[in-house]
Amino acid sequence: MSAFLCKCNRIWKRLFGGLGVCVTFISLCCAHVLYNTQTVEIGHGFYYLLSEAPTTQATAQFVQLQGGAGYVLTHNKSEYVAYAVYLSAEESEKARCSLLETGDNAMCLGVHCNKLYLKKASDKRSAAKIKGAFESLYGCIQVLNGEIKRLEKGATQESDKRILNDLARKLAYLSKDNPLQTVEYAQICNRAAKRITELTKGVVYVKDLRYVLCETCNDYSKLSKIFSL
């Protein structure tokens, strides 16, 4: 029995020893990647107001009838229906409280895009251009967010369409000039430009702008993951 226990102890020691070597190796690899990675700060967050009802087509339609986006957001392999997205946690929480007063249950979800990690030498050389591309897209998001607020406060259709058409032209330009030099960036800008242009052909509704904003913010988050560790 003692010989058997000794043999087991030796096996366990070898296993733990091998595990320790693997952990050390992985740690060194991670340290090497971090050491050779350049970070770019963008520091933006998107705060979604989500329905707590099951995610179905009926839920999305109900949210739209309430004046919400009805956008289906996938996060951590789960799906939610979004009423809207905000650029600050305070605004999202304020909207949630307003919904609660009407009897609708909702929750807030924050999605943060803080840093871009540049690993390729070519990306490092283009760090300023990459940051500029993200800031240009975020600037368009801010303009769209501002137009939603203006329309909510009673802005005229004429003034709203004028600004939205300018925004669509800016997005279309970014899709062609494409400072990020990626297919994804061009697709995001082009899709948003087309959606906004289509909306300005008729009566512009807040709920439709909210949908485009949710979609574009979600696209922005996905785009930032290209430069994740």
Mean pLDDT of the chain: 87
- Alpha-carbon distance of 72 to 127, in angstroms, equals 33
pTM for this predicted structure: 0.84
Smallest Cα–Cα separation from 112: which of 48, 201, 51? 48
Residue written as token pair 């930032």: 224
How are the residues of the chain apportioned to helix, strand and coil, as percentages rounded to the nearest 5? 65, 20, 20
Element (H, E) at 102: none
Asked if residues 184 and 52 have their Cβ atoms less than 8 Å apart, the reply is no
User: How do residues 124-154 score in pLDDT, each as one tens digit?
Assistant: 999 999 999 999 999 999 999 999 999 999 9
Asked if residues 127 and 118 have their Cβ atoms less than 8 Å apart, the reply is yes
Query: Among residues of the chain, what percentage have pLDDT more than 90?
Result: 78
- Alpha-carbon distance of 27 to 19, in angstroms, equals 12
User: How do residues 20-36 score in pLDDT, each as one tens digit?
Assistant: 433 343 333 333 344 47
